[in-house]
Amino acid sequence: MEVELKLLLAAADNEALMAHPLIAAHAGRPARSQQMTARYFDTPDLHFLHHGAGLRVRKVGEEWIQTMKAGGSVQSGLHSRNEWECPVDRAWPRLGRLRKLIGDEPQWRDMLDLPDLKERLEPLFVVEVERHTWDLEIEGNSIELVLDHGHIERHGRTIDINEIELELKEGEPAALYAFALELHKQIPLRLSNISKAERGYLLCRQTGTAPYRAQALGLDPDATVGEALKTILDNCLQHIQRNEEAVIHGDDPETLHQMRVGLRRLRSALKLFDTAAPCPHALAADIAWLGTELGAARDADVLLMSTLPRIQSNPGGKNGLLELQALALAAARGYRKTAAKALLSPRYTQLLLSMGVWMQHIATDVPDSPLPKFVHSTMQRLHKQLIKRANRMDDDDADAIHRTRIAAKRARYALEFFHSLYRQKGSRQYLKTLAAIQSELGQHNDLIIADRLLQEMAEQHPDAADTIGYARGYLQALQSQKPVDLDQIRGTLHHLKLPH
């Protein structure tokens, strides 16, 4: 099993990296340098990709090496994959040799036994890099550091590559994060959640990256509290990081929304387990900062796409609504750029690497408390808190309504985390009810946020103050005419039973 961290850096920083005293202090000898060319193969319908595998033949010097990577996972930025490798006599895969290497692992043997697979294989893209490799010994940990500079090419289209890989040869994964953090102090790095193969496959697609949604969790009832927390945090981080590139380079509001949901799930998980594994203060501050950056961009998107379209008449004359929408669009684009800058910042990398270091110690540092007992007491507490806050809701108290919405969200996220430990029918009904309440209270909250954003917009664009004032009045009237039925929500919650 290959275990490594992948980090991106600017090509302008390559010389500084190669001369970094930290590398010199831990490398037994100078870097090995070589030119490498790799062809990646698949069928026209992407058989290997759909099975979570990648197949390449790489030229190293005068020798051809074929490699298949498959399965595994990416957890808190740490790539772990099955890898089978052997020399071949040509620039084309030898599937028979791969079958011998794989042995009796049926999942991967069945994948290679597809009829006519050999005849259907074709080269999809080529990766060409100049590679520099150092062997590091750091406090009992053996780490291979690789710097790759080059490109991926398919039919004349290219993607540049400039990245480092830290592969753990022997020792503890925490050492990879710690070393990366030390490098990051002088050289700006970005944690990469995708491999060269995944980038190459992007050249094969005609569309952008789809929004990545939360994946279902299946916790082991025999797991400890610490093991469960690590599994949940890994799931949340994957939700965040899988949307990262699309938020930086794209404009789909849903990718930003999903990344923010992932961050909210992460914060909820940290709060759930706070007594067992308190999050370090500096890390918590960085997570809160990221929440602010993503939240501002999401609020602007909701105003543009959901709230303003509820206005049925034109404020300020025939073109008033169009003018307002143009201002809202410009604001949303500005907030999106600010969010992208946050994801490209050193602070974001610091957050992810620090989270990685902390998570490597969770499973061992947290007491071996039984998970079912912890889950039962946690859900009981969250349910009681939700009922208590719902009882305090009042039409004239927006803060109390907001606190109830947050309590519903936390209870919902918690049960989504623990869903596999409950009877499915009861937990599905509980989640469905909380989602409906959260949505209804969320629309109420959207109108409150919209009013604040429109007020800020009026201050920035005084020439549009009349149009914005009309919109604010319209939305306030809408809120008054269709208030949230708080009594109905309270009644629903009082009859809602926790699943068993």
The mean pLDDT value of the chain amounts to 95
pLDDT tens for each residue of 76-91: 778 999 999 999 999 9
User: For residue 396, what are its two tokens?
Assistant: 């004239």
Sign of CA pseudo-dihedral 215, 221, 222, 224: positive
Structural contact between residues 184 and 349, judged by C-beta atoms closer than 8 angstroms: yes
Q: What is the pTM of this model?
A: 0.94
CA dist 347 and 150 (Å) reads 27
Give me Rg for the CA atoms of the chain. Answer: 26
Phi, psi angles (nearest 5°) of residue 190: -130, 130
User: For residue 462, what are its two tokens?
Assistant: 């005084």
CA dist 190 and 7 (Å) reads 5
| Whole-number pLDDT of residue 350 | 98
pLDDT tens for each residue of 338-380: 999 999 999 999 999 999 999 998 877 888 889 999 999 999 9
User: For residue 54, what are its two tokens?
Assistant: 């990648």
Q: Where are the beta strands (DSSP E) in 139-218?
A: 141-154, 157-170, 190-191
DSSP type of residue 420: G
Residue whose C-alpha is closest to residue 198's, from 79, 342, 95: 79
Q: How many Cβ atoms sit within 10 Å of the Cβ of residue 203?
A: 15
* Domains with residue ranges and CATH for the chain: 2-206 (2.40.320.10), 238-495 (1.40.20.10)
Residue whose C-alpha is closest to residue 328's, from 305, 349, 345: 305
Q: Is pLDDT at 315 greater than 70 in this prediction?
A: no
Which range among 112-116, 233-237, 317-321, 424-428 shows the weakest confidence by mean pLDDT?
Answer: 317-321
**Bridge partners (DSSP) listed for residue 59:** 37, 64
Q: Which residues contact 412 (CB under 8 A, 6 or more apart)?
A: 431, 434, 435, 438
User: For residue 227, what are its two tokens?
Assistant: 């093991």
